Amino acid sequence: MCSVTYLPLPNNNFILTTNRDISIHRKPATFPAVATTKNGKILFPKDGKAGGTWIGISEFSRAVVLLNGGFENHLPKPSYAKSRGIIVQEILKIANAWVYLQEVVLTNIEPFTLLIMDWQIEFQLWEFVWDGERKYLKELDKNKPTIYSSSTLYDTPMRQKRESWFNDWLPKNPTYEQADILDFHESAGEGNPHESLFLNRGYMQTVSITSIQKRGNLATVLYHDTVVDSFNYQYFEFNNKKKLALI
C-alpha cells in the first residue's frame, strides 16, 4: 500500500507487487484468503484493525492495489467515515467497477490512490485518485512497467530516487519473474532504511510484501509477513463467466 510495482507480461498478464509500510504496533493482518460474496469470490489479505485490504483479486477478472494518499501529502483528520481498505473490497466484489467509482460518495474518506487491472472485456490498467475533494480517473499504458510510492511517506525527491532504482533494475531483468521483483522489493535502495523500498523508520516499517502474478486464468499470490518472516502461497482461478450485468 506504500510501494507498488506493476510489470506487464505477454498475453495481457502481469505481476503486481506491494510493500505495506505501516506502524509495527498496528494489529497484524491475516494471510490472503478467499472470501465468498453474493456476486462471487475474492482473495485478499485482511487488515487486522479496520477489516479492509490494500490488495486483492476478484472473480470479475480484476486486481486492485491501494496506496495511501493522493497526488501530494495531506494532513490527516482525527477520524474518517470509512477505511480506504473497505473501498478496495467493494471494488473487488462488484461486477462493474466503473459505475461504482462514478457513484460512490467519498466525502470524509482519507485521500488514496488505486491501480486497477481489469480484463472482463479487454485488458485495461487504470489509475484512480481521490485527493479528498475530487476524483481523478485515467487509463495507463498497460505495456509500461511502473513503480508507485505513497505520497504520505515519500516526498518528490524520494519518489524520484525509487523510480531511478526501478529503471536501473529493469534492463537487468528483461524477463520479468515474480521471485526477482520480490527481491527488488526487499533490497532496492542505497543503504538508507528511511528511503529504501524495504522501509525501516523505527515504529514505521515494511510489515509485509504481497505479489500477485496473473498468467491466463490463474493467479499466484505470494505473501511475506516480514515481521515474523513467514510466507503464504495461494492460487486463485478466475471465472470468465462472470458478466458486467451482475451489479
Q: What is the pLDDT of residues 166-178, one digit of tens each?
A: 999 999 999 999 9
Q: Which residues of the chain have pLDDT under 70?
A: 1, 72-77, 240-247
Question: What pLDDT was estimated at residue 153?
Answer: 75
How many CB atoms sit inside 10 A of residue 228's CB? 9
- Measured CA to CA in angstroms, residue 49 lies from 87, 153, 230 at distances of 15, 20, 20
Judge if pTM exceeds 0.85: yes
Judged by DSSP in three states, 82 sits in coil
Residue linked to cell 480484476: 62
Question: What pLDDT was estimated at residue 109?
Answer: 87
What is the CATH T-level fold of the domain 3-237, as seen in this structure?
Penicillin V Acylase; Chain A (3.60.60)
Question: What pLDDT was estimated at residue 186?
Answer: 96
Q: Which residues of 73-83 are buried (b: 16+ CB within 10 A; e: fewer)?
A: beeeeeeeeeb
| 115 within 8 A of 64, measured Cβ to Cβ | yes
For residues 30 and 228, what is the distance between their CA atoms, to the nearest angstrom? 13
Domain ranges of the chain: 3-237
Residues in the chain: 247
For residues 191 and 233, what is the distance between their CA atoms, to the nearest angstrom? 29
Question: What pLDDT was estimated at residue 150?
Answer: 83
For residues 21 and 23, what is the distance between their CA atoms, to the nearest angstrom? 7
Judged by DSSP in three states, 47 sits in coil
For residues 124 and 140, what is the distance between their CA atoms, to the nearest angstrom? 8
Question: What pLDDT was estimated at residue 51?
Answer: 86
Question: What pLDDT was estimated at residue 1?
Answer: 61
